[in-house]
Amino acid sequence: MHKTCVILFCLLFFARLAFAMEVDREKVKRTYPMYPDFVTNLMSGAEDNYISVRVNVLTPDEETPKIIEYYEPLLRDSIILILNSKTIFQLQNIQQRVQIVEEIERRIKSLLEKELGIDIVEKIGLSRLILE
């Protein structure tokens, strides 16, 4: 009985792990990382500060990243304008950083909805964030 329970537990565990890996693969297929990373100056007082960051766009299906790629110059310009208007102190604060990500997400959704008439962005994420 004990061996049967252990085997059943192991099968369920590995089945769940395989399912989770499949879900992650699907998200990777639907994610559009904007290359090259954004490197821009920040709004600052006496010091010259800059940010380097990668913006990742999660889309509802595997075909949508191609649409994001087509509109990338428009999106990059908008993202740079948002980042240029921020200070290093805003980006160091976690709560304000979340608000900045939400602002970028709203702006990208707005631009794409204006161009296409539909919402094709599920979520925006920032990675490789470097502040100096």
pLDDT of residue 132: 85
Confidence at 3, pLDDT banded by 50, 70, 90:
low
Please give the Cα distance from 130 to 132 (Å, whole number).
Answer: 7
Taking CA atoms, 27 is separated from 22, 65, 102, in Å, by: 9, 12, 20
Q: What is the pLDDT of residues 83-106, one digit of tens each?
A: 999 998 898 888 999 999 999 999
Domain boundaries along the sequence of the chain: 31-131
Residue 18 has a pLDDT of 46
Written as one letter, the residue type at 20 is A
Nearest CA-CA partner of 57 in 43, 72, 78, 74: 72
CATH placement of domain 31-131: 3.30.479.30
Q: Taking 80 as the threshold, does the pLDDT of residue 14 lie above it? A: no
What average pLDDT does this structure show over 18-44? Answer: 71
